[in-house]
Amino acid sequence: MYIYLNGQIIKEEEAVISVFDHGFMYGLGLFETFRVYQGHPFLLVDHLHRLRKGLTELQIQWDVTNEQVVDAIQQILHKNKLQDAYIRLNVSAGPSGLGLITEPYKDSTTIIYVKQIPEMVKEKKGVFLKIRRNTPEGSYRLKSHHYLNNILGKQEIGQNTELEGIFLTKEGFVAEGIVSNLFWVKDRIVYTPHIETGILNGITRQFVLKLLEEAKITYKEGFFSLDDLLSSDEAFITNSIQEIIPLYKIEHKLFPKSERHITRWLQKKYNELKHIL
């Protein structure tokens, strides 16, 4: 495959970055993953807005425009002969030598990875993880290179793609999936953990909340217990690659397909808009 590295389209095996890149040394880097549908990067503006906000927090200067990102994506899609793809846009602090610094980073490293969309499962089973969700490094969770907590969660459940591990906070509140946000429905009200629990405010999560608001479907964000989740009528997870995936079971709690009313409606709206927004 070909990737984008600092303005160049190169073969992935030829890609090289500095061993002094602070994205590698200290985890100072952010990334966005999103889908491209028939050449259209879905919700790209939202992803770039979150990325730039986080880079400002980390004092990483990044002068790439939206137009340049779109152009780079189109180039790697063309080079790889793809129209539907998985994209990861990665910006790290860049090389700055050994040791921590407090000055802004002015030589960031930009990489755009691309791969074919893997075969997606239609539904998943949720399992509660023993390892707890770590707290954000700053005032809120960034989509950063600090991924050890997620990896340990994934190691706990293994490679089964039909499972999604569900983190709890250290206090025992429901948090999020390893790579997803979590929603459930009780009596036609949609529930999801508040970002103050320390979860990532996912772009697809934000999109779902906007759809619910526009349709005047009541939703509540908060600090919820296991009983709140396990007494619900339907449940689903979201992320930008897997889209909206129903959970047919969480531990021993079954969610009948016949109860997936809001999940199916959201999936329908997503499919209507994924080539547009």
124-273: CATH class:
alpha beta
Taking the C-alpha atoms of residue 153 and residue 123, their distance in angstroms, rounded to an integer, is 20
CATH 3.40.718.10 for domain 2-115? no
Q: CA-CA-CA-CA torsion for 245, 248, 250, 254, nearest 10 degrees?
A: 160
- Phi, psi at 34, each rounded to 5°: -155, 165
What CA–CA distance (Å, rounded) separates 233 from 130? 25
Its pTM stands at 0.96
Q: Where in the chain is the domain with CATH 3.30.470.10?
A: 2-115
Confidence grade of residue 125 (pLDDT, cut at 50, 70, 90): very high
Read off the pLDDT of residues 27-78 as tens digits, 9 standing for 90 and up: 999 999 999 999 999 999 999 999 999 999 999 999 999 999 999 999 999 9
Q: What is the pLDDT of residue 164?
A: 97
Cα(190)–Cα(67) distance, integer angstroms: 36
What pLDDT, on the 0 to 100 scale, is given for residue 22?
98
pLDDT at 169: 98
Span(s) in the chain for CATH 3.20.10.10: 124-273
Query: 176-187 burial, b if ≥16 CB within 10 A, otherwise e?
Result: bbbbbbbbbbee
The CA distance from 81 to 84, in Å, is 10
179-215 pLDDT, tens per residue?
Answer: 999 999 999 999 999 999 999 999 999 999 999 999 9
